[in-house]
Chain A
């Protein structure tokens, strides 16, 4: 039997087995461990300390140490997971998505243009609250949204003019 074919068969059967187990786990709500307790407050403090120390260590002679970099990334992931589990999963997903988009924007435009453009979050926040959560929008609020929109348009137009 061909090597790739064999591996494919093994992976497919493994997937079938794991799907089956998952169905049972869902049906009977089986938990091998209390996952929420794995993401604990103590862990938060430990990871925060590791995050800061390993971050600082990059600015020393340990700059090229892979272990320090791994520690930094792991602590960052833990902090993200903590926020997901303890605060809001959906909000964290959206936050990470927004951060990645802003990060990608920096590859294409200047930082001094990209970052002020993210200021439209305040306008979006007010508009969502007004339309979907029945919150009140004052005249000052409307004026603020108008200013942000004008600013966004000016920034975009200014960039286009530079290109031309």
Chain B
């Protein structure tokens, strides 16, 4: 039971890490996701299309290859892979794996219902960590979804 609760908490907090990643890495540095994609794409495209614009540089030349495969030229891309993104992927992945394994040892009807705990975990961590504030209607909505999932999940 404890393992399932842990997996539900892990599954619930991983969106928080992604949201934080978005705040720290995308919104702060680039403004929007579109801008971020555009800037990184341009940076990479400049390197890889150089031989098209400059006839002296050949695709298989040493100069081109050393530039194209120099990881420092992709620093913006690598900077996006930070501890928040990794924490999000790890917690999400581990949450699902632990949950799948726990299905072998417990009653499916109970275990499925416990998964609705993930929404409470998201709600609490969002409130504490990201300072997200919900309106009373939204709180009622989350409670309603949690109830609905607890009712329906054992039958899925």
Main secondary structure on A side of the interface with B: helix
A114 CB, min distance to chain B CBs, angstroms: 6
Q: Is B149 within 8 A of A158, CB to CB?
A: no
Within 8 A of A (CB), among B12-66: 12, 15-16, 18-19, 22, 26, 32-33, 51-52, 55
Given contacts A110-B126, A161-B135, contact A148 B152 (CB under 8 A): yes
Contacts A111-B122, A144-B148: A153 and B78 contacting too (C-beta < 8 A)?
A: no
Cα distance A157–B141 in the bound complex, in angstroms: 9
Count the A residues whose beta carbon is within 8 Å of the partner chain — how many? 56
Q: Roughly how many angstroms separate A69 CA and B116 CA in the complex, as a whole number? A: 33
Number of interface residues of B (CB under 8 A): 53
Binding stretch for chain B, among A14-22, A25-33, A34-42, A121-129? A121-129
Could you pull out 22 A-B pairs where Cβ atoms are within 8 angstroms?
A3-B51, A52-B90, A69-B78, A107-B32, A111-B16, A112-B134, A112-B142, A123-B152, A126-B156, A141-B151, A144-B147, A144-B149, A144-B150, A144-B151, A147-B148, A149-B148, A151-B142, A151-B144, A155-B137, A155-B141, A155-B145, A161-B135
Q: A-B pairs with the 4 shortest C-beta distances?
A: A144-B152, A147-B148, A154-B141, A151-B144
